[in-house]
């Protein structure tokens, strides 16, 4: 059974069809990259997977570990092991980063029937992850993302992922806004989570990130459709020729 199976997915927002029949299969252990021009629907796909319900699914199906993802609430999908690193992480005043993350982890553990983690158990693990992402723990005493720089927010997303250890991580343009060092560090964080049980869908505009996080598959999303799929070399080709190239080629892309 695949970890994620998207079949003929059509999604509308406010009456506009944005995704027009997406098929995508992701198996455990794989890293998929989704590329495509601005406004083509990449974030829409990511948000639908995370169960944001401003988006109407008008046709098609999504199975996550064989279960109907479309019937899950966002928190259920999260507890089942689906993680979204947001393109635009949200600021929440007054909630400490550490407190938030431990609450989230415990909510997920509870869902899985595991014991909650107290601060004593949580902190050493948390420190380790902070080190992995070379993050200043002063940041953690501040409110969730409040006043974080763009790059700090993105790094914080990956930190959260590292703590929550999801089965499927969707990274929506995590690389944009990162400086060169941060990019390397974030990629290192992501790579440390790569495992045969885990899969990732990495949305990006730049081949640069894929030098660090080497994908097994690359898909090109244009105007709500996957117009092309291939191996990691497809990203290079895209960088060279631009997206317009894909639109003129006959396609029948299936991952």
Partner 1 sequence: MSTDMNVVHEMASKEYEWGFVTDIEEDRIPKGLSEDVIRLISAKKQEPEFMLEWRLNAYRYWSSQAKADAEPRWANVTFPPINYQGITYYSAPKQKKTLNSLEEVDPEILRTYEKLGIPLAEQKLLANVAVDAVFDSVSVATTFKAKLAEAGVIFCSFSEAVQKHPELVKKYLGSVVPHTDNFYAALNAAVFSDGSFVYVPKGVRCPMELSTYFRINAAETGQFERTLIVAEEGAYVSYLEGCTAPMRDENQLHAAVVELVALDNATIRYSTVQNWYPGDKNGKGGIYNFVTKRGKCLGRNSKISWTQVETGSAITWKYPSCILQGDNSVGEFYSVALTNNYQQADTGTKMIHLGKNTKSTIVSKGISAGHGQNTYRGMVKIMKGATGARNYTQCDSLLIGDKCGAHTFPYIEVKNASARMEHEAATSKIGEDQLFYLQQRGLKTEDAVSMIVSGFCKQVFKELPMEFAVEAQKLLAVSLEGSVG
Ligand X SMILES: Nc1ncnc2c1ncn2[C@@H]1O[C@H](COP(=O)(O)OP(=O)(O)OP(=O)(O)O)[C@@H](O)[C@H]1O
Q: Which residues bind partner 1 (CB under 8 A)?
A: 50, 52-54, 73-75, 77-79, 83-84, 86, 89-90, 92-95, 100-101, 103-105, 107-108, 111, 143-144, 160, 164
Q: Nearer to partner 1 by C-beta: 159 or 226?
A: 159
What is the C-alpha radius of gyration for the chain, rounded to an integer number of angstroms?
A: 18
38 near ligand X, judged by CB under 6 A: yes
231 near ligand X, judged by CB under 6 A: no
Cβ–Cβ < 8 Å for 158, 189: yes
At its nearest, how many Å lie between partner 1 and the CB of residue 47? 8
At its nearest, how many Å lie between partner 1 and the CB of residue 140? 15
HSE-CB of 131 using CA atoms within 13 angstroms: 6
- For 178, 197, 252, the CA distances from 44, given in Å and listed in that order, are 22, 25, 22
What 8-state DSSP symbol labels residue 14?
A: T
- Interface residue with ligand X among 7, 10, 12, 13 (CB under 6 A) is 13
C-alpha angle 150-126-130 in degrees, rounded to nearest 5: 40
At its nearest, how many Å lie between ligand X and the CB of residue 86? 11
At its nearest, how many Å lie between Mg ion and the CB of residue 243? 14
Number of helices (H) and strands (E), helices first, in the chain? 10, 12
At its nearest, how many Å lie between ligand X and the CB of residue 42? 3
Choices 38-46, 60-68, 122-130, 145-153 (CB under 6 A): range interacting with ligand X: 38-46
Choices 10-18, 71-79, 129-137, 183-191 (CB under 6 A): range interacting with ligand X: 10-18
- For 114, 145, 156, 211, 245, the CA distances from 160, given in Å and listed in that order, are 19, 12, 6, 23, 37
207 near ligand X, judged by CB under 6 A: no
| Residues 157, 170: Cα–Cα separation, whole Å | 11
At its nearest, how many Å lie between ligand X and the CB of residue 43? 3
At its nearest, how many Å lie between Mg ion and the CB of residue 2? 24
What 8-state DSSP symbol labels residue 69?
A: G
> Looking at the DSSP assignment, which residues form a beta bridge with residue 172?
203
The entry of ligand X, partner 1, Mg ion, none that residue 100 binds, CB within 5 to 8 Å by partner kind: partner 1
- Interface residue with ligand X among 18, 49, 168, 200 (CB under 6 A) is 18
| Strand pairing category for 143-144 and 168-172 | unpaired
Q: Which residues between 60 and 99 bind ligand X (CB under 6 A)? A: 87
Q: Nearer to partner 1 by C-beta: 36 or 166?
A: 166
Name the packing angle between helices 97-111 and 150-164 (round to 10°): 30
Residues that bind ligand X (CB under 6 A): 13-14, 18, 36, 38-44, 54, 87
């Amino acid at each position: 059974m695949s970890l994620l199976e998207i079949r003929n997915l059509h999604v509308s927002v406010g009456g506009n069809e944005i995704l027009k029949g997406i098929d995508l299969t992701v198996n455990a252990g794989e890293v998929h990259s989704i590329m495509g021009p601005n406004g083509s629907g990449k974030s829409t796909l990511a948000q639908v997977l995370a169960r944001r319900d401003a988006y109407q699914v008008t046709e098609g199906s999504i199975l996550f570990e064989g279960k109907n993802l479309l019937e899950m609430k966002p928190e259920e999908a999260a507890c089942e092991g689906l993680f979204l690193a947001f393109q635009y992480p949200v600021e929440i005043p007054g909630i400490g980063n550490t407190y938030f993350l431990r609450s989230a982890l415990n909510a997920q553990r509870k869902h899985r029937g595991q014991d909650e983690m107290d601060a004593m158990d949580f902190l050493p693990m948390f420190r380790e992850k902070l080190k992995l992402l070379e993050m200043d723990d002063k940041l953690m005493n501040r409110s969730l993302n409040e006043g974080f720089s763009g790059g700090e927010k993105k790094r914080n997303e990956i930190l959260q992922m590292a703590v929550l250890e999801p089965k499927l991580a969707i990274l929506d343009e995590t690389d944009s806004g990162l400086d060169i060092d941060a990019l390397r560090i974030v990629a290192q964080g992501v790579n440390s989570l790569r495992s045969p049980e885990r899969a990732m869908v990495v949305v990006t505009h730049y081949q640069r990130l894929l030098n660090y996080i080497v994908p097994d598959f690359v898909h090109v999303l244009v105007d709500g459709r996957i117009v092309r799929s291939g191996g990691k070399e497809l990203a290079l080709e895209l960088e060279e020729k631009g997206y317009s190239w894909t639109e003129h080629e006959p396609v029948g892309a299936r991952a």
